[in-house]
Amino acid sequence: MTSSHLLRLAAVPLVLSAVALLSFAAHASDSLSYGALAFSEKSGAWGMSDPSPDEKSANKSALSYCTKYGEDCKVVLSAKDSCIAIATAGKDKMAWDKESAPEKARMKAQSDCIAKANDACELKRSACYPPR
C-alpha cells in the first residue's frame, strides 16, 4: 500500500465522525419542536417556554416562567414547528401570535397589540420551535 492509500484510509473515520455529528445535531434540533406561551389575565404576567421535546414539556416550561410573576397563569398558545411572538402596551394590553416565520409572528403580534391598545406597543419576545 502506498502512503496516499494510507492517508485516504485514515481520513475515512474522520469523515464518518463528521457525518454522524451533523446528523445528531440536526436530530437534536428537530426534537425541540414544541413551544408554548402562558398568560395571567389577573396580573398580566406571561411566560414563553424553552424549546421542548413535546407539548407537555413546553406547557410546563411556559407555566414555570409565568408563575414567577403571576399566580393564575394558563397556557394560551401552543406551537409546533412554528414561531411565537408577544407584544405589550403595559400589563393589561397585549397580543400574541403564532406563524410559520418569525417576522410574520412579530408583525402580527405587534399590529394586534396596537389595535387593542390604540397606542404604541413593544415587542417583548419571539421564539421559534425548533430554534432557527
Check residue 20 and give its pLDDT.
38
CA 67 to chain centre: 19
- The H or E element spanning position 128 is strand 122-129
CA atoms of 95 and 105, how far apart (whole Å) = 11
Per-residue pLDDT of the chain (132 residues; tens, 9 = 90+): 565 554 454 544 444 343 333 333 444 456 899 999 999 999 999 999 999 999 999 999 999 999 999 999 999 999 999 999 999 998 789 999 999 999 999 999 999 999 999 999 999 999 999 998
Single-letter residue type at 3? S
* Residue 66 grid cell: 409565568
Check residue 31 and give its pLDDT.
86
Question: What residue spans define the domains of the chain?
Answer: 1-30, 34-129
